[in-house]
Amino acid sequence: MNFLQVIRAMVKKELYLYFIGTGFFTVSVVFSIGLFLLFRFTFPPESITRDAAISLLWAVHLVSTLFVILAGQEWEWEKNAFRAIKLSGTDGYTVFLGKSVAAIVALSLLWSMELVLWSLLFASSHLKTLSQAGVDFSPIIVFLFQIWSAGLIATMGVSFLGQIASVVALHSRFKHVLLFILIFPLSLPVIIAAGAFTRTLWASQDFSSALGLIFLELSFTFLFLGAGVFLYDYLWEE
């Protein structure tokens, strides 16, 4: 098979794992919905400030994303999937790209669902102020698309990081602990930048004022991508 065929096969395998084979994606969706509903109906609406709502959005997304990555890697470790892929002759660079693309697709769907639910439960009053007398919905669409884009960049960064951390943890006796220790602190910069972007955009409605935070997200995302491209094959062969 050529390079693209191998990537396609890797993506199909990973997506099957996320959506059908293990049910981890469904569990993450239920978890996210449950947390949002818990906070929405446990606390009075007036007690949930703008900053609290934004922090909740990104905290839920980070936790659900980490769960999908950690649970998926645990399944592969138990099934000895990494060894099977090695025996197939697939190089580490191709494995990294295939697994990353599949993770980005799955986690982007999760993020889209979380954003829609969050906007309905916690940002509805702000969205109403964006529309002019309930007639012009374009400001709402633009606002949500900008936040979704920030989340997509953060999701890509965490996905790249997750693949690197998983192959590092593969050679450790304490795989689960090491994987969490590697992913959680290193993923915080992109999540914090995305949260700060959301807060700035909500307060000012000026995308240019928050553009620097997008560049910060992109910097970490490309850093993780570059590390995966150049280091994954070496780590893969260790």
β-bridge mates for residue 136, sequence order = 132
In which residue are the tokens 């910097």 written? 219
Query: With b meaning 16 or more CB within 10 Å and e meaning fewer, what string describes 131-141?
Result: eeeeeeeeebe
Within 13 Å, how many C-alpha atoms sit on residue 18's CB side?
Answer: 27
- Distance between CA atoms of 122 and 40, rounded to whole angstroms? 7
Q: What is the pLDDT along the chain (238 residues), one digit of tens a residue?
A: 566 777 787 788 777 777 776 677 888 889 899 999 998 888 877 778 888 899 999 999 998 888 888 776 766 666 565 565 655 666 667 788 888 888 899 999 999 999 999 998 888 877 777 666 555 677 888 889 999 999 999 999 999 998 888 888 776 777 778 888 888 899 999 999 999 999 998 888 788 888 899 999 999 999 999 998 888 777 766 5
| Residues paired with 132 in a beta bridge | 136
Question: Can you tell me the distance from the alpha carbon of 107 to that of 99, in angstroms, rounded to the nearest whole number?
Answer: 12
- Count of domains observed in the chain: 1
Instruction: Report pLDDT for 87.
Output: 53
The pTM is what?
0.87
Distances (CA, A) of 26 to 59, 107, 137, 157, 200: 18, 11, 31, 22, 32
d(CA 209, CA 167): 38
Residue at token pair 């999701």: 155
Range of the domain at 48: 3-237
